[in-house]
Structure 1
């Protein structure tokens, strides 16, 4: 019984921490992160035509998770909240291909 209560309290505290960390991200920080993600995609991927952003959430690793679509294919990009560099990208089927020159190393972006 004590173990069950302890697990419940742990989950509750972790949930509260996640909520408070996502609320601490201001609109200016989110906008800078979005600009960085857009620049990253335009410099590293072929034929990026239409990009839209959806909900932004805090990353458990104290960064930002920027979500959206490129040419209709969904993505999630983890962004460092201090340097605004893209740390990792998750893409769905139909996402544009990487440019040939950007396959081995990330091409420069602002």
Structure 2
């Protein structure tokens, strides 16, 4: 009986520990605003024909960063941003997204 109780207790501890490491960090409005400004600057400096940018709900990304979501010219995007220095780590884009500028295809242009 002690062995079964020990196994059950160990299982509960292990399952509880899995939830401790999950990222539930939330960011203040100032951090989100700076991240959005960085994302907008990134798109305007690295993509052609960026006419309008609209932001939607922002979330935490799985790697501990901040995920900025929105649309550019009616095409959806999600951009992972490092909340410490506001660099854009990666971008996910849907069909109809503006093309990358020629001079920014080999390396990211300043933003």
**TM-score bucket (shorter structure):** 0.7 to 0.9
Residue number in structure 1 paired with 2:108: 106
Structure 2: which 5+ residue stretches go unaligned? 1-6
1:28 aligns with one of 11, 19, 30: 30
Residue number in structure 2 paired with 1:60: 62
Aligned Cα root-mean-square deviation (Å): 1.8
Residue number in structure 2 paired with 1:94: 96
Deviates more, 1:57-66 or 1:29-38: 57-66
TM-score between both structures, scaled by the size of structure 2 = 0.82
Residue number in structure 1 paired with 2:23: 18
Structure 1 stretches (4+) deviating beyond 4 angstroms?
1-8
Residue number in structure 2 paired with 1:73: 75
Distance (whole Å) between structure 1 residues aligned to residue 30 and residue 103 of structure 2? 32
Aligned length: 104
Q: What SS does the aligned partner of 2:57 have?
A: strand
Q: What SS does the aligned partner of 1:69 have?
A: strand
User: For the structure 1 residues 10 and 28, does the alpha-carbon distance in structure 2 shift closer, same or farther, using more than 3 Å as the test?
Assistant: same
Residue number in structure 2 paired with 1:9: 16
Structure 1 residue 6 displacement after superposition: 6.0
Larger Rg: 2
Structure 1: which 5+ residue stretches go unaligned? none
Higher strand share: 1
Residue by residue, what CA displacement relative to the aligned partner does 1:87-108 show, whole Å, maximum 9, x if unpaired? Answer: 1000011100000110000011
